Amino acid sequence: MGQFAVIGLGRFGSAASLELMKMGHSVLGVDTSGKVVDKFADRLTHAVIADVTDPAALEELGLDNYDVVLVAIGEEVQACLLCVVHLKSLGVKTIWVKATSHAQHLILSKLGVERIIHPEEEMGIRVAQALSYPMVNDYISIGNGEFVVEIDVSERLEGTPLSQVLPNDPNAIHVLLVKRKTQITVHPAREFTLKPKDVLVLLGQLSALKTIAPKLV
């Protein structure tokens, strides 16, 4: 179980906090509004009122003991930046921050923030990908143009070996695993026979994955 602190319990921060709680983690929620903190007091491990631009207030929270501190203040750019500067001075090692502009992103990157999140932009990209490739359940970018994707196998591929849908180049796409109900086959051979409702987890360049995805529906 991880320990996370979320500063700012607006729509983004509260959603992240509640999802972390569902995953079994410990979550400290921090906000300047007593009304907001009261709303989440019974739903988070701890919820406190604090002025996050005050270094003394942040120090009292012991945030350097948490695995990750997520700063989800959002549109209050000055408060966000002051908070990050104070967190850095307190020795907090892993800081994720929600940014609302590229200027804010640039400043945060100069401050050495671990990860900068643009929720609307990232969600927009995911929606576009889902619209363009509805057969792809989920995907994760791992950098350098490579993605891990999860794809459902359609009924028309009953009995089809993987070799018929994979590119000829064995290094173009790697089949990490196949999920078949409760059974998981790791690194299946190219002769592995597909069944409807199998779930493939693939690794490869985006261009190669775009080519193979339509063949699986």
Judge whether residue 90 has pLDDT over 90.
Answer: yes
Per residue in 176-191, pLDDT (tens digit) is 999 998 899 999 998 9
Judge whether residue 158 has pLDDT over 60.
Answer: yes
| Residue 105 and residue 167 share a domain | no
Q: How far apart are CA 213 and CA 210, in angstroms?
A: 6
CA angle (165, 169, 171) in 5-degree steps = 105
Per residue in 94-152, pLDDT (tens digit) is 999 998 888 888 999 999 998 888 877 666 666 555 545 555 666 777 777 788 888 88
Q: What SS3 class is residue 169?
A: coil
Instruction: Cite the beta strand spans of the chain per DSSP E.
Output: 3-7, 26-31, 46-49, 68-71, 95-98, 115-117, 136-143, 146-152, 173-180, 183-186, 199-205
CATH number at residue 98: 3.40.50.720
If one counts the domains in the chain, the total is: 2
Asked if the structure places residue 127 within a domain, the reply is: no
In this prediction the pTM is 0.66
